[in-house]
């Protein structure tokens, strides 16, 4: 069997709803084991930061991962790189947030925390529990060496209020704030496959959300979960069943990879 390079999104693809490691279908675990036994390369491809995805990676026995929306690469359990956002563009955006009194937070290290200069951001997003916000009263974003993500509190109305937002990649997963973060997983996939001296035509990706749209490339095989958004299904080469209805296992079985 020809070796394939498989990349799996986490939430809604490997995991059936929400964040965590407790709701991964047993069929998906079996399917991953079979892929490894058959000599295929398996990796995670996630928008989560490296630190936020490590628990999932180790729990499922993955040695390889594209993280940080395509800007982070882990091979054989070793973090190779995380490329930060453009610092000048980030500084311009935060300056505009300050000018318009819009709360913000930032991720500037490889940790499970984000940092805010005061209580305004955590107070604005307290209905969510994605990650812990730590208050750093002496936080001066201009002195940071690297900026990996920015979080901006507010509903959809702030998306048109911020002129400095558009030059940066961003997305929204909830009504309370937006994520300014890399969102092109295909960049990391191409780089990883190149490092492994593989061929892009042998890549297979699985996803379900809008942040997977850039990962669904004509260069390789793209598989949408049954629970995927309409836009992703329209780009997919194949649509499998829902994640909770053995979606990964059924797709791999359909193509004869397991």
CA–CA–CA angle 119, 122, 125 (5° rounding) = 145
Mean pLDDT of the chain: 95
Which CATH fold topology does 5-82+183-254 show? Rossmann fold (3.40.50)
Query: 160-192: per-residue pLDDT in tens?
Result: 999 999 999 999 989 999 999 999 999 999 999
83 CB burial (10 A radius; 0-12, 13-18, 19+): middle
For every residue of 224-245, DSSP letters joined together read: E-TTS-HHHHHH-SEE---GGG
Query: DSSP state, 201?
Result: G
If you average pLDDT over residues 112-126, what whole number do you get? Answer: 96
For residue 21, what pLDDT is reported? 46
Look at residue 22 and tell me whether its pLDDT is greater than 70.
no
pLDDT at 44 over 90: yes
Q: Check residue 17 and report its DSSP letter.
A: S
Predicted local confidence at residue 173, as pLDDT:
86
pLDDT in tens, 185-228: 999 999 999 999 999 999 999 999 998 999 999 999 999 999 99
Closest CA to 50 of 189, 148, 138: 148
| CA angle at 193 for the pair 190 and 199, rounded to the nearest 5° | 95
Region of poorest pLDDT, from 7-21, 29-43, 89-103, 215-229:
7-21
Asked if residue 14 lies in contact with residue 248, where contact means CB atoms within 8 angstroms, the answer is yes
Task: Kindly indicate the confidence band of residue 143, based on its pLDDT and cuts at 50, 70 and 90.
Answer: very high
Domain ranges of the chain: 5-82+183-254, 87-180
CA distance 121 to 101: 11
Whether 4 shows a pLDDT value over 50: the answer reads yes
Task: Judge whether 151 and 99 are in contact, CB under 8 Å.
Answer: no
**Secondary-structure class of domain 87-180 per CATH:** alpha beta
Give just the sign of the alpha carbon dihedral 143, 146, 151, 152: positive
Global pTM? 0.90
DSSP element (H, E) containing 223: strand 221-224
What pLDDT is recorded for position 60?
Answer: 84
């Amino acid at each position: 069997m020809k070796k394939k390079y498989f990349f799996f999104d986490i939430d809604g693809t490997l995991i059936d709803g929400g964040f965590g490691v407790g709701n991964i279908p047993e069929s998906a675990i079996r399917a991953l084991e079979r892929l490894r036994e058959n000599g295929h390369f398996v990796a995670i491809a996630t928008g989560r930061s490296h630190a936020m995805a490590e628990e999932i990676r180790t729990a499922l026995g993955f040695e390889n991962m594209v993280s940080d929306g395509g800007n982070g690469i882990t091979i054989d359990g070793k973090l190779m790189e995380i490329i930060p956002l453009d610092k000048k563009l980030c500084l311009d955006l935060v300056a505009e947030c300050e000018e318009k009194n819009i709360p913000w937070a930032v991720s500037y290290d490889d940790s499970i925390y984000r940092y805010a200069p005061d209580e305004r951001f955590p107070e604005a997003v307290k209905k969510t529990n994605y990650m812990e916000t730590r208050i750093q009263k002496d936080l001066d974003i201009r002195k940071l060496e690297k900026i990996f993500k920015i979080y901006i509190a507010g509903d959809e109305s702030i998306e048109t209020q911020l002129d400095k937002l558009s030059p940066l990649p961003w997305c929204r997963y909830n009504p309370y704030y937006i994520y300014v973060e890399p969102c092109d997983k295909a960049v990391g996939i191409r780089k990883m496959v190149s490092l492994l001296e593989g061929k892009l035509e042998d890549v297979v990706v699985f996803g379900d959300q809008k942040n997977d749209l850039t990962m669904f490339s004509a260069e390789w095989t793209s598989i949408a979960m049954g629970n995927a958004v309409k836009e992703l299904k329209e780009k997919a080469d194949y649509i499998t069943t829902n994640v909770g209805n053995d979606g990964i296992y059924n797709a791999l079985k359909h193509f004869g990879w397991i």
